[in-house]
Each structure stands twice: as structure tokens, then as C-alpha cells.
A and B are shown apart, each in its own frame.
Chain A
Amino acid sequence: MLTESLRESMFSAFLALLRRDILLAFRRRTELLFPVAFLLVVVSLFPLGIGPGPNLLARIAPGVIWIAALLATVISLDGLFRSDFDDGSMEQFILSGHPLTLIVLAKIVAHWLVAGLPLVLLSPLLAMWMNLPLDSLGVLIVTLLLGTPILSLIGSIGVGLTLSLKRGGQLLSLLVFPLYVPILILATAAVMAASDGLPYGAFLGLLTAGLVTSVTLAPFAAAAALKISLS
């Protein structure tokens, strides 16, 4: 049984950590821009490599934007627990008495606000570059809003597992990309269905289900992974 005061203290710990992480991220503004710049560069490479034909670009737009978002997320994920692990804050979090799952969730939310949300905000520009029909832009934004948090959540498990490795970042992509397959399929299918004028509600429903499931389960797995890495 949770007493009222305990619940309150857990909630305030959650908010304090969230605030701290966002504050820390904004102290290093240049680093904040790396995933965004990466996303822009990757997407701009596709017209250069494939050719500027507007129809072809429109056809591959959802896939290109989503794959670029996937890569940008994995690039930014490496920093999720890194600095706290290096300076010993992570041990303090575990010793603080608050559930590690809650702390992990706060860090994931902060990571998404700092690294995931900019990708969503940038998507209209990318859609314009890739000649995506305006009607499906709304669906693209919704899939990114539902999907990028899942990327951060599942990714946090991989980050937790590779934390104690020197070159964890390279292994991370191998660990998490297979787990990202369903999200990529659902999100791009939704946008393509919208472009073709087909119903897309089911895809968004499944993505929402994925979001709910991963919010519920991923923090526990990530906390377990962190404990193994710190042992």
C-alpha cells in the first residue's frame, strides 16, 4: 500500500529528475541540435542518391522520413544514461530509495522531449522536401508523435544493457533495430494508406497499443538492464 506522502514524494522525484534532465540538455544546446541536423542530412541524401523525380520521392517519403527518425533516435539514445553512469549519479539514483523504474521513465520522457519531439516538429519540412502529399502530412505527424516515444522506450533497454561497454553505441543499433521493425512497418503503412486514400485508423490504433504496452513494460526492463550493468 502506498501512503499519500510516499506517492507525493515519488511524483516530486519524477518531476525533479525530468526538470533536471531538460535543464542539463538545454545547457548544452549545440549537442541538442546533433540529432536534428543528422535527420536533415540523412533525408537530404535520398533525393541526391535516388534522383529528384517528385513521384518517386512521394512514394518513398514515409519510409525515408521514418528510417531517418529511427537512425537519429539511436544516435541520440547513447547519451540517455551515459553522463549519469560516468559521474556516479546512477548509483545515487538507485540508492535514493525511489523505484528505479520511475527514474528510468523520467529520463526517457526527458529524452523524448529533447530528442524525439524536435523530429516531430521538423517533419513538415521533411515532408515538403520529399514531396509528400499535404493530406498525409497530418497522419505522418501523428505516427511520429505515437512512434518516436516507443523508439525511446525500447531503445532505453538497449542503452541500459550496453551502458558498461566502451563501444556500446555500435552494438546498440544491432540490439534495437530488430525490435523497431513493427513500428516502422505500422507507421509507414499508415502514411502510405493515407496517401492512397485508404483507411488508416487501424494502424494508428495498433501504434497506440504499442505505445501503451511499451510505456508499461519497457521501463521495468530498462531498470533491470541498468541494474545488471551496474552490478
Chain B
Amino acid sequence: MKNDKPRKNAFLMFIHKMGSPPWFYNFTGKFVPWLWAGFTVLTIWGLYLGLFKAPPDYLQGESYRIMYIHVPAAWMSMLIYIVMAVMGFIALIWRVRTMEIMAMNSAPIGAAFTLIALVTGSLWGRPTWGTYWVWDARLTSELVLLFLYLGVIGLYKAMDEPRKAARAASLLALVGLVNMPIIHYSVKWWNTLHQGSSISMTGSKIDPSMLWPLLIMAIAMKFYYGANLITRSRITLLEQDLRKGWTRDVIEGTAGEHKS
């Protein structure tokens, strides 16, 4: 007899399987150590090149080296918000629980990157601009971004039922994503309106010896995000499914033998 069930293509099948908690847990468990390893190697390499090999800046001296933390963190803070909102959108439309968990576990990581960008930025600002904080457009939008993250985290933590909380916080993240460009441009334009832009990025041309460590660090931070997100999500899944069969298999160490 012929099987008349329509065959899904491999990609759709993969997406479908990722929605199943045991499958997700086992699949991600195989490569999460590699993500952590990639992060460690790239970070050591990038920091070594950035902190020891790259020449000092002719204007800023050694203080510019904080860039190798600051700039990747600032990039990640924005990237993670977008990724979180997109995952939240998927979670809202298709109600995929693993997506809800991934979106919600992205929020604290993104908030941490935003905080790191703000703190390293003000530490860098002290020797270069002579002040820890200016109401510059970039700084202000980064601060507003932190508030947006805190709103998502706050709403998620305030509700008792995790799935409902994740959907509410995902909707908030989505509303924030729609507003983000508006906030960014209004802030940018507010600053030029008031005091004229006195600060810009240190020239568009960066010497390759300074640029390479930056790019390596940027990739290292993406590995970190992936590794941290998956590690967190696996733990959240275990916590939420504590009373289900597949978690017992995992805890007793027989997960590989279990047919799911």
C-alpha cells in the first residue's frame, strides 16, 4: 500500500521537530558544547590580538582597547532584541513552546549585553570625552533599549503561568520592535536639534590590525549568545517538564535509548 501522507521537505520537518521538547533537548545537547568551545577559543584569540597585538591608537592611546568589549556588546544588544522579537512572533502565531522559551531566555542575555555596552561605554567616555555620560543619541537609544528589555523581563517574571507570561512578553517585545526605529530616529534627531553632534564614531577607516580582533570578538559574542541561550533553554525545559516522562529519562541518563 502506498503511503499517501504528503512528504514534508527536510527543512519543514526540522522546524517541526524543534517544537518537540525531548527532540529539542537531545538535538541541542549534541552541539551546545561546541558553541561554548567556539566561544572560548575565539574570545581568547580575539582578546589576545586586541589587547596585546593591536597597536595603540595615535589619539586615544591604550584606552581604545575597551572597544573590543564595548562594540560587540552594543551590536549584540540590538541583534538579540530583534531575534527575541522574531522568536516571540513565531511563538505567538504558531504557539511553539520551545520558541517561547528561547525568546524569553534571550531577554536577560540581551539586557546584560546592553548593560555591558552602557558601562564600558561610560568607562571609555571618561578618558576620551572627559565625562561618563552625555545625552548623545546612541547612548540614549541604548538606555531606552535597556528599559525595553527590563519591561519584557519584568512582565515575564510578574506572571505565574509561564506560557501565558511568555506570550504576553513576546507581544510586548514585538510592540517594542515596531517602536524601536521610531525611538532611534526621534532620539537621534532630538540630539542634533539641541546641541549639535559633537561625538561620532572614531573614523570609518579602522586599520586591519585593529579591525580583525573586533570582528573575531563580534563572532565570539554570537557564539556566546547561542551557547548561553541554548543552555538556559534546556534548563527551562527541564524545569517546566519536571513531571513528564522524557525528563525522567534525561535525569536517569537513559535519554539516548528512549525512542521519541
Contact = CB atoms under 8 A, between A and B. Distances in A.
Interface of A: 157-158, 161-162, 164-165, 167-168, 171, 174-175, 177-179, 181-182, 185-186, 189, 210, 217, 221, 224-225, 228-229, 231
Interface string B151-171: 100110011000010011001
Given A225-B168, A225-B171, A231-B164, A179 B155 contact: no
Contacts of A177: 147
B215 interface: no
A228 B167 contact: yes
Interface in B178-192: 178-179, 182-183, 186-187, 189-190
A185 B189 CA distance: 9
Interface size range on B against A: 20 to 34
B186 A182 contact: yes
20 contacts: A157-B171, A157-B175, A161-B155, A161-B171, A161-B172, A162-B158, A165-B159, A167-B158, A171-B158, A174-B147, A175-B151, A175-B155, A175-B172, A178-B144, A181-B186, A210-B182, A228-B167, A229-B168, A231-B164, A231-B167
Contacts of A229: 168
Contacts of B144: 178, 181
Given A178-B148, A225-B171, A162 B155 contact: yes
A181 B187 contact: yes
Contacts of B151: 171, 174-175, 178
* Chain B binding surface SS class: helix
Nearest to A164: B159
B22 interface: no
A224 B183 contact: no
A182 B154 contact: no
Interface of B: 92, 144, 147-148, 150-151, 154-155, 158-159, 164, 167-168, 171-172, 174-176, 178-179, 182-183, 186-187, 189-190, 193
A94 to B, nearest CB: 16
Nearest to B140: A181
A186 B185 CA distance: 11
